[in-house]
Amino acid sequence: MAMKYLATIAACLLSGAAWACATCFGDADSAQTQGMNMGIVTLLGVTGIVVGSMTAVTLGILLRMRQSRQEASPTVDEAELS
């Protein structure tokens, strides 16, 4: 049983075609390659939107915290001290 696994792993590792996807290895003009490229672009776009939204929310919370701290702590004028 272990010999089957070893043979399968060796065949996969030694085969050059096993390392290449359709984008890198196949026909650049095929429909499958174009579909895969559009899928990659879509996933990158969704990831960018999610990360950008999280950044915007975090910055918004930080700005609100700073504003509330400034409103809560009154500033002392020099005229009041003398």
pTM of the model: 0.55
Q: What is the pLDDT at residue 63?
A: 95
Q: Are the beta carbons of 27 and 33 closer than 8 angstroms?
A: yes
Question: Is the pLDDT assigned to residue 18 strictly greater than 70?
Answer: no
> Regarding predicted confidence, which is higher, 65 or 70?
65
Residue that wins the pLDDT comparison between 52 and 26: 52
pLDDT value for 9:
80
pLDDT at 79 over 60: no
Q: Residue 53: in which H helix or E strand, if any?
A: helix 31-72
pLDDT the model gives residue 82? 56
**In the 8-state DSSP scheme, what is residue 61?**
H
Q: Please classify residue 22 by burial: count the beta carbons closer than 10 Å to its beta carbon, then call 0-12 exposed, 13-18 middle and 19+ buried.
A: middle
Domain layout of the chain by residue ranges: 22-73
